[in-house]
């Protein structure tokens, strides 16, 4: 067989895969199981990745959609995407021990929202309706204090209560380019809109999109490992397509259709922030079944971010 495998160059984007917030969230669940014993309940998928969720289930995590499904006297973990304030309040009311695995960069947006609203500003929030992170951020402030803006069209049509007293915030996992375009419209329509600080799009989202841009021009096709409900993974597919290259999202190596690669000489591979490196290796191994693979990692920036664990878990 080996003699007839066609050659294929694989460009592996770096950074890719797990970010510091995802690493921390998964570790919180693992340490909670060590500390309290199984089962430990987790409200919502801890991160948007089936492989990660299934691995934690095997260790003793039970995933539920709502707090009502958590029995009394067992610990519960809140997912990396963040939760509305009402959720920890309800957990405390029931006397549940809870651990908050919200990514610190999402928590930062939560605190900004509170500060802006208490200063009397109305917030235009750039994000995707129904995403857990958006639901969590809206749940930090009184109803009506924020308006969701999903895209450029939404930015053109939004009519806030007091156009002279606005601020904006954004979901952390958006497309850098899309957000810039949406923001440009808001700034044109509302010149006094307050930018609360540096961009809220997280370092990992920006870095992974930058890494895809850096290799896309050299590739004939891009493969992105990630879940269909993972915002940052879907954005990586869009970034590749905007660079003029066909791209596909795959959850596992088994999802690869070799027909996609026909005629390709160079294929780019990356992974969303909630996809573990083991899935990248699995995909490369599967491609190597049919191709004589030459692999090269292209690093655009080195990531050294680490987030501290919650107090009481470091010792576990």
Residue 237: how many CA atoms within 13 Å on its side-chain side? 16
The β-bridge partners of 88 are: none
Core vs surface per residue 112-143: b (16+ CB within 10 A) or e = bbeebbeeebbbbbbbeeebbbbbbbbbbbee
Map residue 272 onto helix, strand or coil.
Answer: coil
| Alpha-carbon span 72 to 236, nearest angstrom | 40
Query: Strand 98-100 relative to strand 76-78: parallel, antiparallel, unpaired?
Result: parallel
3-class SS letters over 208-236 = HHHHHHHHHCCCCEEEEECCCCCHHHHHH
Which residues are annotated as catalytic? 133
Q: DSSP letter string over 94-135?
A: TT--EEE---HHHHHHHHHHHHHHHTTPEEEEES-TT-HHHH
φ, ψ (nearest 5 deg) of residue 203: -55, -40
Query: Strand 61-64 relative to strand 40-43: parallel, antiparallel, unpaired?
Result: parallel
| Tokens read off for 46 | 């801890």
| Alpha-carbon span 204 to 80, nearest angstrom | 14
φ, ψ (nearest 5 deg) of residue 100: -100, 110
| Tokens read off for 37 | 């014993």
| Alpha-carbon span 313 to 316, nearest angstrom | 5
């Amino acid at each position: 067989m080996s003699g007839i495998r066609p050659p294929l160059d694989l460009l592996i984007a770096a950074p890719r895969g797990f970010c510091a917030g995802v690493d921390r969230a998964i570790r919180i669940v693992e340490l909670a199981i060590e500390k309290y014993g199984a089962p430990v309940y987790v409200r919502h998928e801890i991160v948007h990745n089936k492989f990660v969720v299934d691995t934690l289930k095997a260790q003793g995590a039970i995933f539920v959609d709502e707090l009502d499904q958590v029995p009394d006297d067992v610990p519960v973990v809140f997912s990396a995407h963040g939760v509305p304030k009402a959720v920890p309040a309800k957990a405390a009311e029931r006397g549940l021990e809870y651990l908050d695995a919200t990514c610190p960069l999402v928590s930062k947006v939560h605190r900004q929202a509170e500060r802006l609203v208490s200063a009397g500003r109305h917030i235009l929030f750039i994000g995707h309706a129904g995403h857990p992170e958006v639901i969590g951020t809206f749940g930090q402030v009184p109803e009506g204090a924020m308006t969701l803006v999903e895209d450029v069209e939404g930015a053109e049509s939004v009519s806030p209560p007091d156009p002279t007293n606005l601020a904006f915030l954004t979901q952390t996992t958006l497309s850098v380019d899309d957000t810039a375009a949406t923001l440009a419209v808001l700034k044109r329509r509302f010149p006094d809109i307050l930018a609360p600080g540096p961009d809220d799009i997280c370092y990992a989202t920006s870095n992974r999109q930058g890494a895809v841009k850096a290799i896309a021009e050299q590739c004939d096709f891009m493969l992105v490992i990630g879940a269909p409900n993972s915002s940052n993974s879907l954005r990586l597919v869009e970034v590749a397509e905007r660079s003029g290259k066909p791209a596909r999202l795959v959850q596992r190596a088994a999802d690869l259709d070799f027909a996609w690669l026909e005629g390709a000489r160079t294929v780019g591979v990356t992974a969303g922030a909630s996809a573990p490196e083991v899935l990248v290796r699995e995909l490369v191994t599967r491609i190597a079944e049919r191709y004589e693979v030459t692999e090269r990692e292209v690093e655009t920036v080195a990531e050294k971010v680490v987030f501290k664990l919650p107090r009481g878990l470091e010792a576990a």
